[in-house]
Structure 1
Amino acid sequence: MSVNNKRVFYVKYLAHPIYTEIMQARPDIRFDRLENDSSDEIAAPIVAAAHVYQIGAARDEIARHFHVDQDLLRRAPNLLLVSSNGAGFDPVDVDACSAAGVLVVNQSGGNAHSVAEHALAMMLTLSKRIIEADRALRREANVNRNALIGTEMQGKTVGVIGIGNVGRRIAELCKGLLGMTVLAYDPYLTADEVAARGGEKVNLDDLLRASDYVSISCPLTKDNRGMIGVREFSLMQPHAYFITTARGFIHDEEALLEALRARKIAGAGLDVWAKEPPPPDHPLLQFDNVLASPHTAGVTREARENMGRIAAEQVLAALDGKRPPRIVNPQVWPDYAKRFERAFGFAPG
C-alpha cells in the first residue's frame, strides 16, 4: 500500500477525536490540519493537493476563505470530496461543487436523537413555562404562580417541517410519549412515505394553521431560505409555539420578532441564528417566552462521537472506491467517478 498518496485536510476542528484516530490508522492517507489563520504559505499546498476536505457544518466557525466556493475550488484542483461534520453543510456551495465534479456528503442521521430530544425539551419547557418561572424567581419576590399557568402537550398537534432523520424522531417522541397528532410538510416525500414516518402529509399553510407546536428540522437550501416569514407567522395560532433546531435563515428573525411583540404566537425555542452565536443584546433574547441555545441541539457526547465515526468511515469508503451512503449531490457521480479514476487509477464502484 502506498504511503500518504491520499490527502485529507480539515480546518480548526472535527466533530470528535475518533475521526483522527480512524484516519491516522491508515498509512495510505496524509492527514493535515489547518487553522482559520493559517498562512497562505502553509495552507496553499495542502489545499492544492487535497482529495478530501472535512469541513465544519457551522458557517461562522470557519474563516470565509475556507468556505467551499468557486474560489476555493480553483485553489483545490485535486479535490474530489467535501464531507461536512454534521447534517448541515452551510459553508459549502453545492452547485459550485457539482459544476467542478466534486462530491458533497454529510452525516445526516448521526445526531438525530440528540436534536430531536432538544426540540422536545424546548417544547416542554415553553409549554410548562419553566424558563419564565425560573427567570421570575431570580428577579422577583413573592412570584404569583397563577400568572405562570402552562399547558399540557398531551394530545396536542405538532407540525414538523422536514420529516427526515430528525423530523421522524421528533414525530416518534411526540406521538409515542405524548399521544400527539403529527402533521408534516415535506415536499420531497409522498403521503405514504410521510405516513411511514409517523405523520400526515399536509401543505405548509395548513400545518401552520392547525399546529399547537411548529418544529423546523430541514436543512437550509436556496429554496427554503426565508420560508417562514411575516405571512407564515400570521397563520399560526396565538397559543402556538415556534421551535427550530434546523438552520438560521429558514425563518426571518425580524418577522419572528414582530410576531412575538404583537403576541401573534405564544413563544419560541431557538437553537439556530442568522449570526451564531447571537450577541447578548439580540432583540429576541429579551423575551422571557423565548428559549434560546447557541446551536447546541446536536452537541452531545454521544452525537459527537457518532458523527466523527460515520464521517471517517464514509470518507474512507469513498477513498477505497465505494459509493458513500449520504451524498448531497448524487447527480455529479459520473463526473466524480471519472476524476476519481484519473486520480487513483481505478474507477469507484
Structure 2
Amino acid sequence: MKPKVIVYKKVDQKVIEFIQHTCDVVYFGKLDAETYPEFLQELKEAQGILGSGLKVDKKLLDQAPHLKIVCNTSVGYDNLDLAELTERGIMATNTPEVLNDTVADTIFGLLLSAARRMPELDDWVKNGHWKSNLGEEWFGVDVHHKVLGIIGMGGIGTALAKRAHLGFDMQILYHNRSRNEKAEQDYQAIYCSLEELLKQADFVCLMTPLTPLTEKMMGKREFELMKETAIFVNGSRGKTVDEEALIHALKTGKILAAGLDVYVQEPVQPENPLLSMKNVVTLPHIGSATYETRLKMAMVGAANLIAGLQGETPPNLIKSGVRVKYSRSIS
C-alpha cells in the first residue's frame, strides 16, 4: 500500500506525477477557509506533506498522528517548529541551493532599481511627464565600483557577491556566522564585523535566515550607523528588520533608499508607509518566482519526500538543534 501524502501548494503536474509513482497524493492547489477543513481531515492519515508557508506547530501536528516527514518547497523554514518535529521523530526538509541564482538576480535587480530610481522614473514617463531633458533632481547613484555589504554569506549571498564583484567591480564586505572562504578567494570578499560593514557599505543587503537571534537584526542603531547615501535591500525575511526603524530612517534621511521583497506582514498592508515612499522599491516576495526555479524547487521537495518515506535520509534534511549564531550586538 502506497503511503498517503498531501501536496498543499500549487505545483506543476509533473511534480504530482513524479510523486504518484510511489505515493497516493491528495492535492490542494491552495489552502484557504474553504479547503482547510478538508486538508485537516486528510491530514489524519497523511505520512508526508509538501508545500511552503504552512505553520507546522504542535497544534497542527496533534492532528497528524501518522506524519513522518514535512517538506518545504523553500529555502526558509521559519514556519516549522523544529523542536516539536524532533520531539515527535518527524523529519523536515527544505530546498536550498536550487534557487540561489534566481534569488540573487532578484536582489541585485532591487539594488539597481533603487539606485537608479527605475520604478519611479518608469511611472514618471508613463504618466506623460517626460517633456524635456531630465533634471538633476531625478538623478540616481552609480552602482559600479561601490562597496556592497552582505549580511549573511550563504549560497544566495555568495551568488550575489559574484554578480556584484565580477559584473560591477564592486568591493564586497560581508558579515556571517562563519568565514566563507570561497567568497573570499573568488570575489575578494572581506570578512568584517557588522558595525564595520554598516559604516563602510554603499549598499547593504540583508540575506540572513530568520531565527530568534536575527529577528529585528536591523534596527534603529544599525540604520544610524549606515551612510546617509547608503541603500538598504532586504532579501531575507521581513521580521529580520525593525520595520518602524526602517521607515524612520527613510523618512528622516538617515539612509537614502531601500529595496524590499519581504515585509513583517505579507501581503503587505495598503496603509504601510513604505508603499507611499518614492525612495522605496517594493516587490511582492518574488525572490524565486520564475517558472523554471519553482519547478526545480518542487521537484527537489518531492525527492526529499520520497526519500524520507522510503527509509532513506532525504538529501536536504534540516538538522534540528542548529542555531544560527548571528549576534544582535554589533560591538
Identity %: 27
Q: Aligned runs of 1:214-229 on 2, under 5 Å?
A: 214-229=204-219
Instruction: Confirm or deny that 1:135 pairs with 2:123.
Output: yes
Instruction: Confirm or deny that 1:51 pairs with 2:35.
Output: no
Deviation larger for 114-123 or 41-50: 41-50
- Mind listing any 5+ residue stretches in structure 1 that lack a counterpart? 333-349
Conserved in 2, the CA contact under 8 Å of 1:52 and 1:79? yes
Shift of 1:228: 0.5
Task: Name the residue aligned to 1:273.
Answer: 263
Number of aligned residue pairs = 317
- Mind listing any 5+ residue stretches in structure 2 that lack a counterpart? 323-331
What amino acid sits opposite 1:231 in the alignment? R
Distance across 1 between alignment mates of 2:153 and 2:57: 29
Aligned residue for 2:164, secondary structure, equals: helix
Instruction: Confirm or deny that 1:7 pairs with 2:4.
Output: yes
Q: Aligned runs of 1:1-349 on 2, under 5 Å?
A: 3-4=1-2, 6-11=3-8, 13-26=9-22, 29-34=23-28, 35-37=31-33, 42-57=38-53, 62=54, 67-137=55-125, 138=127, 140=129, 142=131, 144-187=134-177, 189-190=178-179, 192=181, 195-196=184-185, 198=187, 199-330=189-320
- CA separation of 1:278/1:311 partners in 2, compared to 1, >3 Å: closer, same or farther? same
- CA separation of 1:89/1:15 partners in 2, compared to 1, >3 Å: closer, same or farther? farther
What amino acid sits opposite 1:116 in the alignment? A
Conserved in 2, the CA contact under 8 Å of 1:213 and 1:240? yes
Deviation track 1:273-315 (CA, whole Å, cap 9, x = no partner) reads: 1111212332001111100111012101111111111111121
Deviation larger for 308-317 or 266-275: 308-317
Deviation track 1:1-59 (CA, whole Å, cap 9, x = no partner) reads: xx32x121132x23443321211233xx11113443357874444212222121313xx
- CA separation of 1:52/1:260 partners in 2, compared to 1, >3 Å: closer, same or farther? same
Aligned residue for 2:233, secondary structure, equals: strand
Deviation larger for 107-116 or 135-144: 135-144
Shift of 1:177: 0.2
When normalised by structure 2's length, the TM-score is: 0.89
Shift of 1:142: 4.3
What amino acid sits opposite 2:6 in the alignment? F
Shift of 1:168: 0.7
When normalised by structure 1's length, the TM-score is: 0.84
Higher helix share: 1
Distance across 2 between alignment mates of 1:38 and 1:260: 40
- CA separation of 1:40/1:145 partners in 2, compared to 1, >3 Å: closer, same or farther? closer
Distance across 1 between alignment mates of 2:97 and 2:202: 26
Deviation larger for 111-120 or 93-102: 93-102
Aligned residue for 1:291, secondary structure, equals: strand
What amino acid sits opposite 1:298 in the alignment? S
- CA separation of 1:25/1:269 partners in 2, compared to 1, >3 Å: closer, same or farther? same
Shift of 1:170: 0.2
- CA separation of 1:164/1:15 partners in 2, compared to 1, >3 Å: closer, same or farther? farther
- CA separation of 1:40/1:277 partners in 2, compared to 1, >3 Å: closer, same or farther? closer
Distance across 2 between alignment mates of 1:133 and 1:14: 35
Deviation track 1:88-117 (CA, whole Å, cap 9, x = no partner) reads: 123222222122222211101221111100
Shift of 1:159: 0.9
Distance across 1 between alignment mates of 2:83 and 2:151: 24
What amino acid sits opposite 1:175 in the alignment? H
Cα RMSD over matched residues? 2.1
Conserved in 2, the CA contact under 8 Å of 1:241 and 1:266? yes
What amino acid sits opposite 1:228 in the alignment? M
Shift of 1:214: 0.7
Deviation track 1:113-145 (CA, whole Å, cap 9, x = no partner) reads: 111001111111122222232233327464643
What amino acid sits opposite 1:31 in the alignment? V
